[in-house]
Structure 1
Amino acid sequence: MEVTVYTTEIPSWLSAAAAGLAAGDIDAWLDAFTDDGVHEFPFAEQGAPERLEGKEAMRAYMSELPKYIRFGSFHDVTVRETSDGVVIEADGHHWDAVTGDPYAMRYVWVITRRDGRVAVLRDYMGPRRPRPEES
């Protein structure tokens, strides 16, 4: 399998989906997935879901996120294309929805695509790290 680093920008199809999710438009996020799409969290905390199968399971999970997170921006992005998907590494700069405290979180997404949509998203999130408020 040939792997090519092709950008330091999150692909437009994923960026648009993430922007929709940040704005509370869960359908914009789900539109990026196949109907039978899977969103996995291999490093999920105990008691948290490790696998969401299908759009309705993803909708239920994603609709709870605004209680916990205010999405910000992604920095230090590296994108590697594979024959059937993409691997993305990024630092997310977000805010705690309850306290308003800023934090950083490192992500690695291993995404398998089918027919131009996400079939499987393996979402490896690191722990929250404090960060100073950006000016």
Structure 2
Amino acid sequence: MTPRELVDHALQLLIAHDMTAFAGLWAETGVLELPFAPPGYPQKVEGRAAVHEYLRAYPDIVDVRAVTEQVVHQSTQPDTVIVEFEVAGTVVATGRPYDMRYIAVIVVRDGEIQVYRDYWNPLAVAEAMGGVDALVAAFTGAENG
């Protein structure tokens, strides 16, 4: 898969709530980076198995129903794309709308994600989820102290 094809496929899997297949897009040693993560939240998830573990309960936390906007920019590096996208859904625990914009820098080699750098807005996500503690607890199983 080309990087652009992989992005399209990944977003389809996200809407389908198929987190096993979504995590399966990562290379065995691929990395998910979350540079804007709040304290207590992981900033890096390393390896396909760890990405799967991190994402497996995502549909129980956030019910993403649509990608409402998507723009893919090809970088000067053929294996790297920058993706701007917006999703619409609901936070399962609160019933609040989950309408979020993301920017991701994705490096794809041999049809697999090597690096997925996710520039998301943790303040907006925390607000939708009911606070930073709820956000951290949902994805780590721990309270933010």
Given the two structures, how large is their TM-score scaled by the length of structure 2?
0.73
Distance 1:113 1:91 in 2: 21
Aligned-residue offset at 1:14: 2.4
Distance 2:14 2:73 in 1: 23
Aligned-residue offset at 1:56: 1.1
**Structure 2 residue runs without a partner (length 5+):** 129-145
In structure 1, the residue matched to 2:35 is: 42
Alignment partner of 1:72 is 2:46: no
In structure 1, the residue matched to 2:50 is: 57
Distance 1:12 1:101 in 2: 31
Compare the two structures and name the one with the higher strand fraction. 1
**Structure 1 residue runs without a partner (length 5+):** 1-9, 131-135
Query: Which whole-Å deviations, capped at 9, do the CAs of 1:40-73 have from their partners, x for residues lacking one?
Result: 1111121111100001111111012133200122
Matches within 5 A, 1:19-34: 19-34=12-27
Alignment partner of 1:99 is 2:89: no
Q: Percent identity?
A: 31
Compare the two structures and name the one with the higher helix fraction. 2
Extract structure 1 runs of 4+ deviating beyond 3 A.
21-24
Aligned-residue offset at 1:100: 2.2
Give the number of aligned pairs.
Answer: 121
- Alignment RMSD: 2.1
Q: Which amino acid aligns with 2:81?
A: V
Distance 2:45 2:109 in 1: 17
Query: Which whole-Å deviations, capped at 9, do the CAs of 1:58-104 have from their partners, x for residues lacking one?
Result: 11110121332001222232211122210011122121111222121
